[in-house]
Amino acid sequence: MAKTPLPVAELTSRYGPHLNYTPPGGWQDESRNAAEKLVKTHCCFCGQQCGIQLKVRENRVIGFEPWEDFPFNRGMLCPKGVKRYLQGNHPDRLLSPLLRTEHGFQPSTWDEALDFTARRLREIQDKYGKDAVAVYGGASLTTEKAYLMGKFARVGLGTRHIDYNGRLCMVSAGVAYKGVFGVDRSPNPWSDIAKAEVVMVIGGNIGECAPITTDYIWRARDHGARLIVADPRFTPIARNADLYLPVRPGTDLAMLMAMLHVIIRDGLADREFIAAHTTGFETTAASVAEWTPERAAEISGVAPEAIERAAHWIAESRRSMLMHARGLEHQSKGVENCEAVAAIALATGNIGREGAGCVMITGQGNGQGGREHGQKCDQLPGQRSLSDPAAREYVAGVWGIAPDELPAPGYSAVEIMNAIHRGEIKGLLSICFNPLVSLPDANFTREALERLEFFGVIDFFLSETAMHADVVLAGSLQEEEEGVTANVEARVIHIQKAVEPPANARRDSEIICDLARRLGRERYFPFREPREIFDELRLASRGGIADYYGITYERIDREKGVFWPCPSSDHPGTPRLFENGKFFHADGKARFMKLEWRDGGDPVDAEFPVYLTTGRVVSQYLSGTQTRRIGALVDQYPEPKLEIHPRLAAQFGIQTGDRVTITTRRASITLPAMVVRTIRPDTVFIPYHWPGGRSANLLTHRTLDPRSKIPEFKVSACRVARESA
């Protein structure tokens, strides 16, 4: 049923992406009029959640003004933040609900669209069971919306299956930190980075994916800190690295284990800290006993001397910060990778102090807050476990249902798509997720979408995925509904409503509550305003790990953000975790884990001899649903290019600008080459923001980390060849 109602090209010509270059009224005319108000809020894009002031006139965002008093970014913005306001008043904006017909999508009334959605969801659940319907959420939603989606799935629909696009982002780090420290959060406020003496960045293209964080690292360097960068590419921040480790894709664990080996071998471990505040050190020590720098060098391509130097620098300082992002986490051993980083921090006693710690660089806008309050397949609000009877009882009590009515944990995001593909899940309601571009193996994703008996989408633009929908409910942009998010450092911040949704579009939370009403569950969804959702969320999180009970919108405004946990109104919040070596496990101790080398899910061989790795560019964001519609951002990097080293390029006679076909075990795509010395000669790179024939995710594979269920985006095997004429 869920094939596109018209050819994609026709839908694209009607619904975009089209490019918006100018503010409403044009550069020289109406937009020069003074703003009626400046709204202090935050960027809608990445996990930095930079403070920004939106200029508003006549219910339209006409520009921005830097917000220099907001402490995290102090006015700084990347190009996405500068141009983010152009997503409003966009010609592609969905202004009313759309119903699929034989002649394409037709506008409908809200009653028609919501009645249809509720009826189809009910029919599928009546026919196939509650769990035949799944819900997809997203980490760009405010925490209120994310909370609402979790409650809607479990209480409104009664399905086990809700998960979110954060499954493609933070979950490896989340599982690792939960296991090691007892809490899924970066332990340090970002101000600690600037105070470090040694900063190691592993698998994090900070200059492009978390640009504001560059300033923190440069400030550390200004006072003499050493910078270590481990990455298969020479990323923009590597230009100032004191030590660059050109790690082969998928082999970070070998390098990290060898660093631990050196730390233990050379007597650099902080035995006092380990004895007082951790358990399991002997397990990790045994895991790395055979991992000499020489052995790791064979696997990772990083020189033994460089591994030794990195280990010594980190261990010999009392102010070392280790920072990691998707390069480390998007692997089938993503959790072990993060556990190894945490083990280095623990073994050297570099945690819980100013300038000392290990942090995950959360990628998505509300990557932190969106994963704390029940949008994950196995979690309840407050970072509680859905499998924990006490947690079930508490949250069921807040929601006014019996604990037995709460479904069991369901499938993760990729597993949901697998279950759709094999016919187990028949209906899908999706918000804030563009899986056709963002999930691995896009041909498989398309096949799955085409098998759905019902597909409903809530979105503000017709994304490539939404083109497959039976009904599209025209929702709201970030600036059209109040709420909170938690930024990369777990600072809970206030998203202000700057404008009303245009025309017949509606606030996302209204749409969900209306849908719940039509499903006969209105008494559980009485919310009129986001504030009412937040107040219930505070209560539902109370006593949990991510305790928001003491946080209010007013406190956030007054204090420019409040770091959770914040259990009461007189609690100051918690910028830094684990001070005095106290961790979140019941015994107060951190855990060292067993580390074990495993091969990845798509190994290189004679037929596919080159590593393919994927990532982002600074001017685009995730699946590009928003940023591929903003002219200035598209102009900066208009189409995906294949980054390839001249040594590899020479083997195939490839020069910059040549069209090159990249083939993996799944598919082939053809892109222009960019021959650069800034990548390993055995590796090629493609940014993943584009759909269709330019989609890097046609090439990637569906292997998951067995614990975090994150796909192994960062390591595929491929071959390259000049396009045959």
Least distance from other proteins to the Cβ atom of residue 429, Å: 36
Q: Which is nearer to other proteins, 214 or 504 (CB)?
A: 214
Is the CB of 646 or the CB of 692 nearer to other proteins?
646
Between residues 347 and 679, which has the closer beta carbon with respect to other proteins? 679
* Whole-number Cα distances in Å, 336 to 172, 333, 447, 538: 8, 5, 32, 33
Nearer to other proteins, 206 or 259 (CB): 206
Least separation in angstroms between residue 560's CB and other proteins is 18
For residues 561 and 72, the answer to whether their CB atoms sit within 8 Å is yes
Smaller CB distance to other proteins: residue 123 or 242?
242
Residue with smaller CB distance to other proteins, 106 or 678: 678
How many angstroms from the chain centroid is the CA of residue 356? Answer: 24
**Residue 627 Cβ, how far from other proteins at the closest point, in Å?**
12
Task: Report the alpha-carbon distance of residue 700 to residue 709 in Å, rounded.
Answer: 15
CA distance 391 to 395: 6
For the CB of residue 54, give the shortest distance to other proteins in the complex, in Å: 12
CB 231 within 8 A of CB 252: no
Residues near other proteins, by CB under 8 A: 21-22, 27-28, 31-32, 63-64, 66, 68, 73, 75-79, 81-83, 207-208, 211-212, 214-215, 218-219, 222, 224, 234-240, 618-619, 632-633, 636, 646, 656, 674-678
**Closer residue to other proteins in complex, CB, 63/374:** 63
DSSP string, 43-81: -SSSTT--EEEEEEETTEEEEEEE-TT-TTTTT---HHH
**Smallest distance, Å, CB 63 to other proteins?**
6
Helix (H, G, I), strand (E, B) or coil at 540: helix
- Closest CB to other proteins among 75 and 304? 75
Distance CA(386)–CA(390), nearest Å, equals 9
- Phi/psi for 416 (5° steps) reads -65, -45
What are the tokens at 454?
Answer: 């019902």
Shortest separation between residue 8's beta carbon and other proteins, angstroms: 30
Under 8 Å between Cβ of 504 and 518: no
Q: Quickly tell me which residue has 């990249």 as its tokens.
A: 662
For CA atoms 352, 356, 357, 363, the dihedral sign is positive
Residue 36 falls in which region: left (phi positive, over 0), alpha (psi -120 to 50) or beta: alpha
Considering beta carbons, is residue 44 or 77 the nearer one to other proteins? Answer: 77
What residue type is 454 in one-letter code? Answer: F
Give dist(CA 41, CA 101) in Å, integer: 39
Look up residue 56 and give its amino acid: V
CA distances from 267 to 257, 273, 305, 673 (A): 15, 14, 17, 47
Nearer to other proteins, 668 or 678 (CB): 678
State how far the Cα of 42 lies from the Cα of 39, in Å rounded to an integer: 9
- Identify which of 283, 281, 308 has the alpha carbon closest to the alpha carbon of residue 293: 308
Contact predicate 540/551, CB 8 Å: no
Give the nearest distance from C-beta 221 to other proteins in angstroms.
8
Least separation in angstroms between CB 59 and other proteins: 20
- The least distance separating other proteins from the CB of residue 294, rounded to whole angstroms, comes to 30
Closest separation in Å from C-beta 432 to other proteins: 25
Go through the chain and tell me how many residues it has: 725
